[in-house]
Amino acid sequence: MAEYAKTARNTVNRYRGRGAYDHETIHAIVNDAPILHVAFNPPSDPFPTILPMIGCMGSFAHPSAPLSAALDLYLHGYVSSRLMRLPGTPSTAKEEAAAAAEEEAEESSTPLCIAATLLDGLVLALTPNHHSMNYRSAVLHGHATLVTDPAEKRYAMQLVTDNVIPDRWANSRVPPTAVEMQSTSILRVAVVDASAKARSGEPGEDRKDERDEAVRGRVWTGVIPTWTAYGAPVPAGKNRVGVPGHVSALVEGRNRENERKAREAAAEV
């Protein structure tokens, strides 16, 4: 099982048993998260900046590579956004592969920290101090460069689109126009290190509280499973077609899968 190397930066210290470093676990959390939070240090601002973005793990060189493989993270954004203007020297996948030293790649890139979080449940204990949440989270560190190769850019745009709504790319007007390609920027993040952390199961209680029959007799404890639910599709005012199968499949499939994961997390001991 391929894993990210443990470093002082990515090692889980609190509740180490909840940590994971394998590619598959981390990449799955990233791809399941509707929104990624991307942090970076602007060159002329003392405060770090964090942005909500959409992105997906993938490999342009090996498009069919599984989540357990070494993958890049592709981030989608508007061409004039501050983050998209930060990377110093745009590069293509072929140029990076031919780079002789990692230092050269670092000098032409922007260091980023990316966080993905999925909430699976609210965990209610006898005392607020022992309340918790069931969750899956991942944090990645890497170097971002602008994608300039048109083929890789189209690959990443389809990758991100189909990760949000499977098969949407093929069921919409494509390919993108020249204007759409120019107005969209894609960052490829070469992941340096990463880790995941997850909690599941019932609340942990203070032993003194567990022996207090008065407290146990009046305080409800347990888990409220929590998941993202998709509602019935609402057609646009100028829409002319019925709800397509890929949209119905998204709503039904994601709702079923998200609920399953939340309920399984609540039931784990």
Residue 17 to residue 200: CA distance in whole angstroms: 12
Opening angle at CA 92, ends 86 and 98, nearest 5: 115
Question: Residue 76 forms beta bridges with which residues?
Answer: 54, 186
pTM above 0.75, yes or no: yes
Q: What is the pLDDT of residue 252?
A: 98
* 116 pLDDT higher than 50: yes
Residue listed under structure tokens 């890139």 = 109
Model confidence band, residue 2 (pLDDT cutoffs 50, 70, 90) = very high
Residue 247 to residue 207: CA distance in whole angstroms: 49
- Strand spans (E) along the chain: 19-20, 36-40, 49-58, 72-78, 110-124, 132-146, 184-199, 222-225
Model confidence band, residue 108 (pLDDT cutoffs 50, 70, 90) = confident
- Produce one character per residue of 228-259: b if its CB has 16 or more CB atoms within 10 Å, e if not: eeeeeeeeeeeeeeeeeeebeebbeebeeebe
Write the pLDDT tens digit of every residue in 27-75. Answer: 999 999 999 999 999 988 999 999 999 999 999 999 999 999 999 999 9
Is pLDDT larger for residue 245 or for residue 90?
A: 245
